[in-house]
Structure 1
Amino acid sequence: MEIREVFARNLRQQRQRKNLSQEALAHEAGVDRTYISALERSVYAASIDTVAKLARVLEVRPADLLDPDSR
């Protein structure tokens, strides 16, 4: 599995764990909802700054979003 796919899977799992919609996550992270959707579908690769913003909102370490063994 490629890192973009790992990130997409972990982002979706962590967002759902926090019971956040894509729109709510996007609002709190200061990004567009369509961007969250694209990240979760592996359409775009997130910048390191975006990974950090999303991790902060999700209350996880940035590394957790990139961990292929994270479940």
Structure 2
Amino acid sequence: MEPAIAFGVVLRELRKRAGLTQEQLALEAGIERNFVSLIERGINQPTIRILFKVAGALKMRPSAIIEAVERHLEVGIKAKSGMGHND
């Protein structure tokens, strides 16, 4: 999985876990709602500035979001290689 796609998947999960709609997250972060949608779909990628704004809106450290993306990518790699299965 591409990092941009993984970032979008993780952002959607974190947003939903926080109980926020795309519109609410955008409002809290000071960005456009359609930009949140584009990020979540992996079409656009956030700048560092946007990452910090989104993290603040989610009440998280930016590094925690990146770590979640790394974990998501690692799970995908293990699943693809068959390492995630107990035979």
User: Secondary structure of the equivalent of 1:44?
Assistant: coil
Between the two proteins, what is the percent identity of the paired residues?
Answer: 36
State the 1:40 CA deviation.
0.2
Q: Which has the larger radius of gyration?
A: 2
In structure 1, what is the equivalent of residue 6 of structure 2? 6
State the 1:10 CA deviation.
1.3
Q: Which runs of 5+ in 1 are unaligned?
A: none
Q: Map residues 29-44 of structure 1 onto 2, 5 A cutoff.
A: 29-44=29-44
In structure 2, what is the equivalent of residue 64 of structure 1? 64
State the 1:33 CA deviation.
0.5
The answer (yes or no) to whether the contact 1:26–1:32 under 8 Å persists in 2 is yes
Higher RCO (Cα < 8 Å, 6 or more apart): 1
- Tell me how many residue pairs correspond in the alignment: 70
Q: Which runs of 5+ in 2 are unaligned?
A: 73-87
Q: Map residues 12-51 of structure 1 onto 2, 5 A cutoff.
A: 12-51=12-51
Q: Distance in 2 between matches of 1:44 and 1:2?
A: 12
TM-score (norm 2): 0.74
